[in-house]
């Protein structure tokens, strides 16, 4: 049990737990699991990571992916691996999960800390996505895969469609699909035109919100936009690879630290 004794829950936690259980349609044997799933890290600053949705989100991502992949596999027997992958990626994208979570009323049940509430909850979109994944994990841990599957089937799987299997036609489409996982739509701005009218060169900047991603150069506006999208994709892929490398190193270090602490604890017990 993540939170321990339910008698220690605050009134806000009790009320939001009741709302959350009504939304997911399951009464938890271990209500602390669901409380962790709906708790933003800002509400438990200074406490172990298990008291917020961060760890559950990690597990939920894998459980949700397996549920969606299994459904797509059986629903569309004619699709190859690429098509099935595109369906899975589209359905579990951050923008998709956040939209579903918001429609369920999750925005009203997240337990935020004062630091986050003071910012106007800028991270609400991300929180909605994380809480959905964490809730799937909480259901899985509390009652098994079938209960988790029922929740996903009732809330997400109806949004699955064969159109999601279509391969993006060009770099701009691929970039848009990539950014929309985080609820962002790329925009393009012509920043410079070079050369005489009969021999123009166009320079276009692509943005994600207010952030400039890359510039592209082409003989037409369309060509310059396409090149900008290609460069942005390469940049994003490089950043993702570096992030995964860093995360892997962090987890390895945490594992080593945990083993070290365990050895020291055993040594202390022997002494």
Catalytic annotation present for 271: no
How far is residue 225's CA from residue 210's CA, in Å, rounded to a whole number? Answer: 17
What does the block give as tokens for 28?
A: 């938890």
- Over its C-alpha atoms, the chain yields an Rg (Å, rounded) of 23
Catalytic annotation present for 240: no
CB 12 within 8 A of CB 109: no
The answer to whether 133 is a known ligand-binding residue is yes
* Residue that has been written with the tokens 């055993």 in this structure: 266
How far is residue 86's CA from residue 248's CA, in Å, rounded to a whole number? Answer: 25
Contacts of 117 by beta carbon, 8 Å cutoff, 6+ apart: 42
How far is residue 219's CA from residue 171's CA, in Å, rounded to a whole number? Answer: 17
Contacts of 1 by beta carbon, 8 Å cutoff, 6+ apart: 30, 32, 33
Catalytic residue among 2, 61, 71, 225: 61
| Sheet architecture: strand order including 201-208 | 186-194, 201-208, 211-218
Q: How far is CA 55 from CA 27, 130, 145, 155, 231, in A?
A: 21, 10, 18, 22, 34
How far is residue 41's CA from residue 182's CA, in Å, rounded to a whole number? Answer: 19
Catalytic residue among 133, 142, 225, 230: 133
The answer to whether 57 is a known ligand-binding residue is yes
How far is residue 116's CA from residue 253's CA, in Å, rounded to a whole number? Answer: 29
Binding-site residues = 57, 130, 133
Binding-site residues for Mg(2+) = 57, 130, 133
User: Which residues are part of the catalytic machinery?
Assistant: 61, 133
């Amino acid at each position: 049990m993540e939170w321990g004794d339910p008698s220690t829950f605050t009134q806000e936690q009790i009320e939001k737990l009741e709302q959350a259980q009504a939304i997911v349609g399951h009464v938890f044997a271990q209500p602390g699991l669901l409380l962790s799933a709906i708790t933003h890290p800002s509400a438990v600053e200074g406490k172990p990571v298990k008291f917020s949705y961060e760890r559950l989100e990690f597990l939920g991502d894998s459980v949700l992916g397996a549920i969606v992949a299994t459904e797509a596999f059986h629903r569309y027997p004619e699709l190859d691996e690429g098509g099935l992958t595109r369906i899975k990626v589209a359905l579990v994208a951050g923008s998709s999960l956040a939209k579903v979570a918001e429609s369920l009323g999750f925005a009203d049940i997240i337990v935020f800390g004062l630091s986050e509430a003071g910012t106007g909850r800028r991270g609400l979109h991300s929180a909605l996505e994380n809480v959905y994944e964490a809730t799937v994990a909480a259901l899985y841990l509390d009652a098994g895969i079938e209960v988790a599957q029922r929740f996903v089937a009732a809330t997400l799987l109806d949004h699955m469609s064969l159109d999601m299997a279509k391969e993006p036609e060009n770099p701009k489409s691929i970039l848009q699909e990539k950014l929309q996982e985080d609820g962002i739509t790329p925009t393009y701005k012509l920043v410079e035109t070079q050369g005489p009218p009969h021999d123009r060169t166009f320079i276009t900047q692509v943005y994600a919100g207010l952030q400039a991603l890359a510039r592209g150069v082409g003989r037409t506006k369309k060509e310059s936009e396409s090149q900008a999208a290609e460069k942005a994709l390469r940049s994003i892929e490089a950043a993702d690879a570096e992030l995964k490398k860093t995360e892997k190193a962090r987890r390895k270090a945490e594992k080593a630290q945990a083993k070290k602490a365990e050895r020291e604890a055993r040594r202390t017990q022997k002494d």
